[in-house]
Amino acid sequence: MVKISVIGAGAVGTSVAQWLLVKGGIDELVLVDIVEGLAKGKALDLAQSLPLWGSNIKIDGSEDFSLIKDSDVVVITAGRPRTPGMKREELLSINTEIVKSCAEKVKEFAPNSIVIVVSNPLDAMVYVAYKVTGFEKNRVIGMAGVLDSARYRYFIAEALNVSPKDVQALVMGSHGDLMIPLVRLANVAGIPLTELLEKDKIEKIVERTRYGGGEIVSYLKKGSAFITPGFSVAEMVESIIKDEKRVLTCSVLLEGEFGISGVFLGVPVILGRNGVEKVLEFTLEPEEKKALLNCAKHCEELISQIKL
Catalytic amino acids?
A: 175
Amino acid at 289: K
Rounded CA-CA distance 91/93 in Å is 6
Cβ-Cβ contacts under 8 Å for 96 (sequence gap 6 or more): 124, 125, 128, 306, 307, 308
Rounded to an integer, what distance in angstroms lies between the CA atom of residue 301 and that of residue 176?
A: 14
Backbone φ, ψ for residue 12 (5° rounding): -70, -45
Distances (CA, A) of 5 to 41, 133, 232, 239: 16, 16, 16, 16
| Residue 264 backbone dihedrals phi, psi, to 5 degrees | -95, 125
| Residues in Cβ contact with 67 at an 8 Å cutoff, skipping those fewer than 6 apart | 5, 30, 32, 60
Q: Which of 112, 191, 208 is nearest to 154 (CA)?
A: 208
C-alpha separations of 46 from 31, 61, 64, 224, 281 in Å: 10, 10, 19, 21, 40
Burial of 113 (0-12, 13-18, 19+ CB in 10 A): buried
Sign of CA dihedral 153, 142, 64, 112: positive
Distance of alpha carbon 186 from alpha carbon 164, whole angstroms: 12
